Structure 1
Amino acid sequence: MGLGALFHRNLVYEATDTKTGQTATYTVVTDGGPGMYADWAQDSYRGGMSIPGAWRAARLQAGILGGVPWHAYQDRGGRAQRVRPSPALVEQPAPPDVRVTTFSSWHLDLLWHGNALGLIVDRGRDRAPTAVVPVPARSVFVRRIGQSDNQAADFPVGEIVYWIGGRWRSTRDVIHVKGLCEPGALRGMGILEAHLAGALGLSVELDKQARGVSEHAVPSVKIKSENPDLTQVEADELKAKWMASVRTRVPVVLNPSTDVEPIAWNPTETQLLEARKFSLHEIALIFGLDPSWLGAAQASRVYANIEQEGINLVRFSLQEHFERFEQTLSAHLPAGMWVKAALDGLLRADTLGRYKAHAIGIREGFLQPNEARALEDWAPIPGLDEQWAEHVFRAPTAGPPPAGSVEEGQP
């Protein structure tokens, strides 16, 4: 069944506020404009992506999740066998966009809104999804059908439904990667919901203040008057004239008895550096990252530490997101089939360490040569595994020299 038969493009819908009675019209689905696809000009993430630290954190995590290979496996006699070719759901779920585009955009929504959603618009013969339209979380409503629910009478009581494209959709037709949530909650909680008024708002405010101090503030000076009869009123007038002159950037004229001594700017105070560093650390905590990934100052780093940080990034920051995607996508594949992200490329060590590990695996018999080549993204060599097996099974077993014999090279 094609796209047109399953997906009815209602361009607009009306929503009425039950308290005020006001009705507003919203664009839900269009052929390329705002609606089904995130409109960045409309500030989908409430300005969060304009914060440098948040941009770096979101781009780092979304890029990694979208960039790793995704594979499907099935049970074959108690052994996990990779499905070839890979199902469209994990290879290219939303053509013509490539996989990294779809998965990274889904992950952005998962980070900021706590939910990543897609509408299944085509299926194969095995009923597995072959095409998905990513849907911004901000344009989707989710609810559970109640006993006296007349708005979605076509669904059984208790079923969860999604309002997408002007109609209610069943969970069977919606891919929903749900983020951190309360038990039984229908939607996940994202960074915007939890931190928009806190750390993110503080970061934006600090940036505004720093720009304001640098561009518009009056430089600190000390005005000294040698007039012994100077009154408080005259002093206040003198100060006001000086401040007005500096703000408007026009020359100021002083009498011979008045002297101005400038106080040098403190760049650290001007840019609010300490407060902004603290804000950067908070953003790193929000995204589950080590502050060093966002460019925060850190002690000396050596290669071993950097390598371990990369492993920790996957294990303690991204593993949760990978598992949410894996389990959600697996639920939409046929029974006995599941999805896994190929994380070997992210977790593997340097070249020498990998080669040593391959050699140990091949020597101990739990890794074949062509499997080791595949781990390095090299093409298999026909007959290599058979030659290796023949060499192993025909090679004489090495043992200790017989009693009384002399080792070669020994007197």
Structure 2
Amino acid sequence: MAMSILTTALEWLTAPMTRATKLTAAAPELPVRSDRITNVSPEAALSLSTVYRGVQIHATAGMQLSIRAERDDVRIPTPSIIERPCMEMHRPAWIEYNITSLYLDGNAFWVIDRFGPGTRRPGTVSNITVLDPNEVTVKVERLPLGRKRITYYHLGRKITGEVKHLQLLRVPGLDRGLGPIQSAQMELRGALDARDYGAMWLSDQSMPDGVLTTDQVLAPGDADKYKHVWYGRNPDGSKRTAAEGAVAFGTSERLRVMGSGLRYQPLMLKPSDVQFLETQQFTTTQVARLLGTPASLLLAAVEGNSQTYSNVEQDWIGYVRFSLMKPLREIEEALSELLPAGQRARFNVDALLRTDTKTRYEAHNLALAGRWKTRAEVRADEGLMPIDGIDDQPEPASAEPATDPAPETEPTA
């Protein structure tokens, strides 16, 4: 009787474990994909010098640009929110933080603060805080007719204030923007593996110095014996004593005598093979294509392409228009929505499109001669302080060469 009660109690206690075991056995086994293959974090990608340099080029190019305000394509005094969008950092650092967030994560999130009622400017934007995109979660509720209700969370807490969501690339079906690092995981993983393999080849102690080969059949254990003898040990692996001909400390035997048709082949690689220079060159070109950075700025030569001054200048123009302009446009449109109606924010990219001082000054001279720009506007474009009455000075002579008047001729009889 006692035995029966004990057995019943034991079955009752182990029943949940038995059911769990059956459920686990019945469930189909899903294929396991290694995180190492698919997950390359922004921090890991930045450990590649080409990725770091590419992102830094975008950030450096953007943070040196000025922002102006316009109404009906006419420049107006710059609002304070454009002069300093965030009180915690200066404007170049604020721009840099936005651009790096867009290229590393594909997203940038702003929390908008406004002056409250009873202040001098109620409802006007007072501060724009840029959040770490890794700390922001986007929850989207699908409503009828394709509408959405979007809620943002920061570190698990719902953001109740006004939020602006900037995206580097909008893809249908994705609630967050798609960045280059998130899009090209396999390519970046291949670049990281190639770099790590080259470093491991030089530092890993398990890599063999050479190979002993023979065309004869070796008996079991002979391979280990020959290996021990090759390294100056006894066939059983023990160290040789002085009586057995041990080598003195600090010296080495330069001569090896082996039998059984053994041949030694050292594993020697050229420095270019160890460093995988061709692979690194291909990776640099690949990352430049991925980030939209001119290869000339990454100090990478593209095969079959000769770089001249005109080529580099065209690279710069294409870079500004089709790479850097994307994050700049996102910032411009988001800032414009925060300005009073009719006002727009614009980056001044002229300094990047005109690559040298001589060309820039010639363009200013033509603008002044054509009277479609004033001296004060030229000084503002160059970041110079205004001078009172400078627009009252006479304009420079036209750049077109003057033609001599036709000589007068005496009337004929």
TM over 0.5: yes
The letter for the 2-side match of 1:103 is I
Distance 1:235-1:117 versus aligned 2 partners, 3 A rule: same
- Per-residue CA deviations over 1:241-266 (Å, capped at 9, x if unaligned) read 48989xxxx96897534675645421
Q: 1:287 aligns with which of 281, 286, 291?
A: 291
Could you tell me which residue of structure 2 aligns to residue 387 of structure 1? 393
Give the deviation of 1:147 after TM superposition.
Answer: 6.3
Q: 1:311 aligns with which of 307, 314, 317?
A: 317
Unaligned runs of 5+ in 2: 1-39, 233-250
Could you tell me which residue of structure 2 aligns to residue 164 of structure 1? 154
Could you tell me which residue of structure 2 aligns to residue 9 of structure 1? none
Identity of aligned residues (%): 25
CA contact (8 A) 2:141 2:148 kept: yes
Could you tell me which residue of structure 2 aligns to residue 113 of structure 1? 105
Distance 1:376-1:119 versus aligned 2 partners, 3 A rule: closer
CA contact (8 A) 2:105 2:133 kept: yes
User: Residues 251-290 of structure 1 correspond to what in structure 2 (within 5 A)?
Assistant: 256-257=257-258, 260=264, 262=266, 264-290=268-294
Q: Matched residue of 1:292: which SS? A: coil
Q: How many pairs does the alignment contain?
A: 339
Distance 1:369-1:99 versus aligned 2 partners, 3 A rule: closer
Distance 1:186-1:263 versus aligned 2 partners, 3 A rule: closer
Distance 1:213-1:165 versus aligned 2 partners, 3 A rule: closer
1:128 aligns with 2:124: yes
CA contact (8 A) 2:151 2:158 kept: yes
Unaligned runs of 5+ in 1: 1-42, 149-156, 407-411
- Per-residue CA deviations over 1:191-229 (Å, capped at 9, x if unaligned) read 232122x1111111111100111122646546478xx98
Give the deviation of 1:340 after TM superposition.
Answer: 0.9
CA contact (8 A) 2:296 2:312 kept: no
Could you tell me which residue of structure 2 aligns to residue 8 of structure 1? none
Q: Matched residue of 1:293: which SS? A: coil
The letter for the 2-side match of 1:175 is K
Distance 1:191-1:242 versus aligned 2 partners, 3 A rule: farther
Q: 1:62 aligns with which of 59, 71, 90?
A: 59
CA contact (8 A) 1:68 1:342 kept: yes
1:104 aligns with 2:87: no
Could you tell me which residue of structure 2 aligns to residue 404 of structure 1? 409
Normalization by structure 1: what TM-score? 0.70
Distance 1:239-1:262 versus aligned 2 partners, 3 A rule: same
Normalization by structure 2: what TM-score? 0.70
Q: Matched residue of 1:121: which SS? A: strand
Q: Which moved more, 1:357-366 or 1:337-346?
A: 357-366
1:94 aligns with 2:90: no
Q: Which moved more, 1:131-140 or 1:203-212?
A: 131-140
Could you tell me which residue of structure 2 aligns to residue 17 of structure 1? none
Distance 1:166-1:123 versus aligned 2 partners, 3 A rule: farther
- Per-residue CA deviations over 1:67-113 (Å, capped at 9, x if unaligned) read 311222234xxx523233x332x332222311222221222221121
Q: How far, CA to CA, are the matches of 2:77 and 2:173 in structure 1?
A: 33
Distance 1:175-1:236 versus aligned 2 partners, 3 A rule: same
Distance 1:377-1:333 versus aligned 2 partners, 3 A rule: closer
Could you tell me which residue of structure 1 aligns to residue 33 of structure 2? none
The letter for the 1-side match of 2:152 is Y
Q: Matched residue of 1:207: which SS? A: helix
Q: How far, CA to CA, are the matches of 1:123 and 1:405 in structure 2?
A: 80
Could you tell me which residue of structure 2 aligns to residue 52 of structure 1? 49
Could you tell me which residue of structure 2 aligns to residue 208 of structure 1? 196
The letter for the 2-side match of 1:127 is G
CA RMSD of aligned residues (A): 3.7
Q: Matched residue of 2:102: which SS? A: helix
Distance 1:69-1:201 versus aligned 2 partners, 3 A rule: same
1:297 aligns with 2:293: no
Could you tell me which residue of structure 2 aligns to residue 321 of structure 1? 327
Q: How far, CA to CA, are the matches of 2:103 and 2:292 in structure 1?
A: 11
Give the deviation of 1:230 after TM superposition.
Answer: 8.0
